[in-house]
C-alpha cells in the first residue's frame, strides 16, 4: 500500500505515540500506521470497523448498544 502523505490527530501531542492515517481517503478502507515506526507494516480496516473503533474510544462509556 503506497500512501504519499500521513497525518496524526491534533489531539496526539508531541509524544510520538499515536496512530497515523492517510491524508487522502482510500474508498472502503482506513489504513493506519504507528507514528513511532512508520516504515513497519500498516493495517487497513474496513470503514465500518474503523467507525466503530472511533466511536468506542470517543465515548467514555464505550460504543452505543445496537
Overall pTM > 0.85: no
Q: pLDDT band at residue 50, thresholds of 50, 70 and 90?
A: very high
Q: What mean pLDDT do residues 32-49 have?
A: 91
How is residue 47 written as a grid cell? 470503514
Residue 25 above 60 pLDDT? yes
Residue 63 above 80 pLDDT? no
Q: Phi then psi for 62, rounded to 5 degrees?
A: 95, -175
- Which residues lie across from 20 on neighbouring strands? 8, 33
Amino acid at each position: 500500500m503506497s500512501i504519499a502523505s500521513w497525518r496524526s490527530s491534533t489531539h496526539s501531542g508531541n509524544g510520538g505515540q499515536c496512530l497515523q492515517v492517510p491524508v487522502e481517503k482510500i474508498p472502503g478502507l482506513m489504513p493506519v500506521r504507528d507514528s513511532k515506526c512508520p516504515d513497519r507494516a500498516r493495517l487497513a480496516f474496513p470503514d465500518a470497523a474503523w467507525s466503530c473503533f472511533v466511536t468506542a474510544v470517543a465515548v467514555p462509556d464505550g460504543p452505543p448498544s445496537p
